[in-house]
Amino acid sequence: MAVAALEVDDLRKAFRLRRGQVAAVKGVSFSVQSGKIFTLLGPSGCGKTTTLRCIAGLEVPDRGRMRIGETTVFDAEGGIFVPPHRRDIGMVFQSYAIWPHMTVHENVAFPLQVLPRSIRPPKKEIRTRVMEALETMHMAPLADRPATWLSGGQQQRLALARALMANPKILLLDEPLSNLDAKLREQMRFELKRLHVELGITTIYVTHDQTEALALSEEIAVMRDGVVVQQGTPAEIYRHPRTDFVAAFVGSANLLDGKLLAYGTRDAMGVVDVGVGRDLEGVLSGECQLGEVVAVSIRAEDVRMLHPTGARNQNTVAGKVKARVFLGDVVDFLVDIGNAEMRVRSVGSSTTFEIGDDVLLEFPPLQCWIIAARSHSAITERGET
C-alpha cells in the first residue's frame, strides 16, 4: 500500500489557562490515504479544530508525531517542528480570513508572490494562473474589487481559491460552511465535492454538522473530549454507531435503555428488556454480557408505524401519537410508548396518522443496534452543540 498522505500519531495538546491546564487533544491517531476527504466530526470543544491547527503547524503539540507524505513535520521526541509556511498545506479558515487591504486578485496571488525567489513564477505567469483560478470559481469579473465587497459565498470561494493556489499536498477546511445560510451551504457542499473530484487533493475537513460530514466525507473520525471515539466510513458510522454518544450525535437515533436478557435466535442477536412490557430483539454491536445495562439504538426512519389493529409481531410496541411535523418529503412523529418517546420519520401511507391516534410501532430486529451503555450523557451532549 502507498504511503499515507497524512499520518497523525498519539497527538496531545493542552492549553495553559489562568487556572491550571485544559487538555484539548488527548492522544489522537489516524492516517489519511492520498486523495481522500477525511472528516473530524464532533461537538464544540471536542478538540477537532485544535487537531486541525496542529496539522497546519499553527499550534505546537505537546506530544506525538505527524507526517505529511514522507516528511515528518512534527516529532516531539525528535524535536522536529516544521513551521506552517514550509508544510505545503492550504487552509480555509472558518472566518475565511480574507485580507481586507487587498483586492480579490491580490488575495489569490499572495501565495505565489511569497514563494522563495528561486521557485517563484514570473509576474506574468502569476497573473494568468490567478485569472485561471478565479475563472474556475466564477469570480474572474470581480478580480479588481476590494475583497471586502464580496458576499459571504464569494468570500468562501475566494478563500478556497487562495488555499489551492500553490498546489498544496493537503487542504485543510475548518468549518468552511458554517457562516453561510442554509441554501448556499447546500450549494457549496456540491461545489466542494465537484472540486475534490476534479483535483483529487487530500482534504481534512472539520465540522460539527453531521449532515455535512456524511455528505462530503469518505472517512469520518468522531471526536469527543479530545479523543477519537469511532472512525469509519459514513455508512458505518451512521448504521453501526459503537457508543450511544455516536448514535445520538450522528443522525437522530432513538435510544432505549435496557438490560440484556438473552442471546437471540440467530448469531450476534440479543434480546433486551426495555421496560415497555415487550422485549426487543436486535443486533449485538460488541461484547455485551448477559444481564448488563445496554442501550438499543434505532434510527427514526427505520421505525415502522402501523395501525393498532395489525398483527403484533415480536418487536412491536403500542403507543400514542403526541406530535406531528410536516416536512414536505417526510413527516416526523413523536410517539409516546409509556416510558419513552420515540421519534418516527415516515413516508407514504403511514403519514396519515394524526395527533392522539393509537399506533403500533415495529422495530425491525436487524435495524435495532444493541450497544454497551457507557455514558448516559449522550443526549445532553448533543443538546450543547
Partner 1 sequence: MRLATVEERIVLTSRRLKAQGFGAEVLALGLIVVLSVLVVPPMLGVVYSAFRKGPTLFEGTTTLENYRSILSDPNTYGTLADTFQFAVATACLVVAFAGILAWLVERTNAPFRRLVYLAIVVAFGVPVILQGMGWILLLGPRNGLLNVVLRTVLGSHAPTIPLYSMPAMVFVQSTVLIPTMFLLLAPALRAADPALEEAAQMSRAPRWQVLRRVTLPLLVPSLMAAVLLSFIIVVESFEIPALIGTPARIFVLSTEIYGRLRRPSPDYGAASAFSTLMMIIAMGGLYLYQGVTARAHRFTTVTGKGYRPHRLELGPWRWVAGVLTGGLSLILTMPVLILAWGSFMRVYRPPSIAALSGLTLENYKTIFASSWIVQSARNSFILGAASAVVVMVMTFAASWLVLRRRNPLTKGIDYLVTLPLVVPGVVLSLAVLRTYLVAPVPVYGTPLILLIAFVVHYLPYGMRFSHAGMIALHPELEEAAAVGGAPLAVRMRRIVAPLMWPALLAGGLFVFLASIRQLSLVLFLAGPGNDLITTTIFSLWTEGNITEVAAFAMPVVVGVILIAAGLNKVTGGIGVQVDHYR
- The reply to whether 115 sits near partner 1 by the rule CB under 8 A is yes
φ, ψ of residue 187 in degrees (nearest 5): -65, -45
Q: How far apart are CB 102 and partner 1 at their closest, in Å?
A: 8
Query: Could you tell me the end-to-end alpha-carbon distance of the chain, in angstroms, rounded to an integer?
Result: 38
- The reply to whether 199 sits near partner 1 by the rule CB under 8 A is no
Q: Across 208-292, where does the E strand assignment appear?
A: 219-224, 227-232, 253-263, 269-273, 279-284
User: Contact 154/160 with Cβ under 8 angstroms?
Assistant: no
Spatial distance between the Cα atoms of 312 and 285, rounded to a whole number of angstroms: 26
Reading the block at residue 373, the C-alpha cell is 451503555
- The reply to whether 14 sits near partner 1 by the rule CB under 8 A is no
User: Contact 268/284 with Cβ under 8 angstroms?
Assistant: yes
- The reply to whether 85 sits near partner 1 by the rule CB under 8 A is yes
Q: Are strands 202-207 and 170-174 parallel, antiparallel or unpaired?
A: parallel
- Provide the residue type at 129 as one letter: R
Which range in 52-60, 70-78, 305-313, 375-383 contacts partner 1 by CB under 8 A?
Answer: 52-60
Which range in 77-85, 195-203, 337-345, 358-366 contacts partner 1 by CB under 8 A?
Answer: 77-85
137-176: contacts with partner 1 (CB under 8 A) = 148, 159, 162-163, 165-166, 172
- The reply to whether 29 sits near partner 1 by the rule CB under 8 A is no
Residue closer to partner 1, measured from CB, 61 or 365: 61
- The reply to whether 179 sits near partner 1 by the rule CB under 8 A is yes
Q: Quickly tell me which residue has 507526517 as its cell.
A: 67
Residues contacting residue 250 through CB under 8 Å, at least 6 positions apart:
41, 210, 213, 214, 222, 237, 238, 241
Dihedral, CA of residue 283, residue 286, residue 288 and residue 294, to nearest 10: -70
Long-range contacts of 211-215 (CB under 8 A, 24+ apart): 212/177, 212/185, 213/39, 213/41, 213/250, 214/238, 214/250, 214/251, 215/189
Residue closer to partner 1, measured from CB, 159 or 331: 159
CA angle at residue 350 from 345 to 354, to 5 degrees?
Answer: 90
Q: How far apart are CB 160 and partner 1 at their closest, in Å?
A: 12
Which range in 80-88, 136-144, 182-190, 364-372 contacts partner 1 by CB under 8 A?
Answer: 80-88
Q: How far apart are CB 34 and partner 1 at their closest, in Å?
A: 20
Q: Which residues of 87-108 are buried (b: 16+ CB within 10 A; e: fewer)?
A: bebbbbbeebebeeeebbbbbb
Q: How many residues does the chain have?
A: 385
Q: How far apart are CB 94 and partner 1 at their closest, in Å?
A: 4
* Contacting residue, 6, 91, 221, 272, with partner 1 by CB under 8 A: 91
* Contacting residue, 28, 41, 46, 89, with partner 1 by CB under 8 A: 89
- The reply to whether 86 sits near partner 1 by the rule CB under 8 A is yes
- The reply to whether 95 sits near partner 1 by the rule CB under 8 A is yes
Q: Across 327-381, where does the E strand assignment appear?
A: 331-336, 341-346, 358-362, 369-372
- The reply to whether 229 sits near partner 1 by the rule CB under 8 A is no
Residues contacting residue 375 through CB under 8 Å, at least 6 positions apart:
243, 244, 245
Residue closer to partner 1, measured from CB, 91 or 272: 91
Residue closer to partner 1, measured from CB, 159 or 192: 159
Residue closer to partner 1, measured from CB, 49 or 207: 49
Residue closer to partner 1, measured from CB, 111 or 258: 111
- The reply to whether 69 sits near partner 1 by the rule CB under 8 A is no
- The reply to whether 385 sits near partner 1 by the rule CB under 8 A is no
- The reply to whether 111 sits near partner 1 by the rule CB under 8 A is yes
Q: How far apart are CB 11 and partner 1 at their closest, in Å?
A: 18
Binding site for partner 1 (CB under 8 A): 49, 53, 56-58, 83-86, 88-91, 93-95, 97-101, 110-111, 114-115, 148, 159, 162-163, 165-166, 172, 179
